[in-house]
Amino acid sequence: MLDKRLFKFPGARQALGVLSLLTLIQALAIIGQGRFLSVAITDLWGGHQLTSIGVVIVWFMLAYLLRQVMGVAKQYALAPFADKTTASLQTQLTQKYAALGPRTVANQGTGKSVTLAVEGIDQVHDYLTLVLVKLFDMSITPWLILLYIATINFKEAVFLFVIYPVIVIFMIVLGLAAQAKADREYETFNRLSNHFVDSLRGLTTLKQLGLAKQYAQNIYDVSEDHRKATMSTLKIAILSTFALDFFTTLSIAVVALFLGLGLMDGATHLLPALTILVLAPEYFLPIRNFANDYHATLNGKNALADIMTLLEQPVAPETNRYVRQSQRWQATDTLTLEQVSFSYPNADRPALQQINLTLTGHAKVALVGTSGSGKSTLLNLLGGFLVGDGDVKINEQALPHLQQRQWQEQIQVLPQHPYIFHDTLRANLAFYAPDQRDEDLIAVLQQVGLADWFASLPDGLDTLIGEGAMQTSGGQAQRIGLARIMLDEERRVLLLDEPTAHLDIETEALLKETMLPVFDNRLVIFATHRLHWLRQMDWIIVMRDGQIAEQGTLADLIANNGYFVTLQAAMRGTTHA
């Protein structure tokens, strides 16, 4: 139940040491509470006046008060550790997502990634505050009570000792069943999270295609799967609670029966018998509390396991070896890849094989090829989002990879779907260059063709856009992404991953007029399926099955009459003879 990796967290041993001490004091208070209560009842049964047992009642009240105080103190003692640990985990998780790159988020799913970083962290917090307290209660309190009972009646202590493992074994069996159900519930919850995000993103498209009502059934099916998985887990939880209560009540009843028989034949006195009877429920209470919270914290345990697995994923070593020689990418700078390969986990074949290329200065370089040929993978590798095998050099500096901070500070990325943050238009525009004046922001909006749209905004640059606010069309989002690039003059390496693939021809033509001047004095690497862009490219790299099939100028590639000509004909929808 307890993840051993918890002990590696900063402050874990100190927090657990304090928790152990407080639990020990609380256990002694429970024993004292049971003892003083039994003494008071026995004296009253023996005919003593209430005033004569006032001291015993005071001791009972003090023991009871100490027990409650220790219970609260344990929560307060553990809260700073849980708060600090979960805050640290959230920070580390965010940094890990950034270090591993967008591919990790894409593979895991946006919904799960966001849920893990937000709700998953809250579940881990509950897991830490609930499980650790209950676990230490179960590990300390019953055995101190058992030792005390053994000093009073050894036979009853032996019975309690024997019955305890039986209950534990039964709970393990039910716990394994609950774990399997909870794993399925957690899996359906992650699926529901990803499905929810995907549905929101695609809602407009579904409505345009007239599939919104049909897709509603799909949403219902995913939600129903999660409901059934949750109810299945709750069934196991209710069954285990009932079984545990039944066995513990039966055990206490057996103890009471033997004590009653002992009182009848004179083998046992009232005070020790009553003390054992009062302490017997306390002996089973920690395991009952632990079992009740076990099911409530399974999601927290699963979330912690997912977070720790992600944090333990290796990142590329030596991430800051590259030393930038100039503030901007210069016309004389070179980037060289030699025998570079990359494979995705569990893939049947490499995504990139033996890539050899040299990019020099300010040039417009096109990446073309069929879907799955390796264009996006090569772009991600050039951006330092993926780490492959092979030799990498920048200005003859040998590097293990391109996941270098100073290299990534020189690049800008314009994907197919630029992300629009739920923030003001000003914050979205100034993503790369946060210190821009409003006049510069308005000027760049005019340059990218958003002047009329900007004039229609109710609050100008302070207008909230993005999810949950004013929505932008695909063309508007691309223009905002382009405006981000234009506002930052320092970053001179531009990576474009088919930024106009989802735009209509008319919108693309208008956007192209704005984009081409931005390409000047930059190293531009442009992955595209649209042939008309190739006329403006200085160099074309043709990808095929993860390899560079050909590279050269447009005129050279046509003259060679190789794979590029065949690809070009296929992209035009014609057959090349």
Q: What is the DSSP string of 16-43?
A: HHHHHHHHHHHHHHHHHHHHHHHHHHHH
- As a whole-number percent, the residues of the chain with pLDDT over 70 amount to 84
Residue 221 has pLDDT above 80, yes or no: no
- Looking at residue 575, its pLDDT comes to 43
Question: What beta strand segments (E) does 522-570 contain?
Answer: 523-527, 539-544, 547-552
Beta carbons within 10 angstroms of residue 27's beta carbon:
23
The model's confidence at residue 513, banded by pLDDT at 50, 70 and 90, is confident
Residue 325 has pLDDT above 90, yes or no: no
205-214, 293-302, 354-363 — which is least confidently predicted?
205-214
Phi, psi of 241 (to 5 degrees): -65, -45
Is the pTM higher than 0.75? The answer reads no
Q: Measuring CA to CA, which residue among 77, 180, 97, 125 is closest to residue 304?
A: 125
Beta carbons within 10 angstroms of residue 121's beta carbon:
20
- As a whole-number percent, the residues of the chain with pLDDT over 90 amount to 23
Domains of the chain and CATH, by start: 4-311 (1.20.1560.10), 334-572 (3.40.50.300)
Residue 577 has pLDDT above 50, yes or no: no
Give the pLDDT mean for 338-361.
89
Residue 9 has pLDDT above 60, yes or no: yes
Phi, psi of 261 (to 5 degrees): -65, -40
Residue 139 has pLDDT above 80, yes or no: yes
Give the pLDDT mean for 446-458.
88
The model's confidence at residue 576, banded by pLDDT at 50, 70 and 90, is very low
Q: Which residue has the higher pLDDT, 194 or 548?
A: 548
Token pair of 173, please?
């069996």
Contacts 24+ apart (CB under 8 A), 227-232: 229/181, 229/184, 229/185, 229/187, 229/188, 229/189, 230/185, 232/181, 232/184, 232/185
Q: Quote the mean pLDDT of the chain.
A: 83
Token pair of 227, please?
């409901």
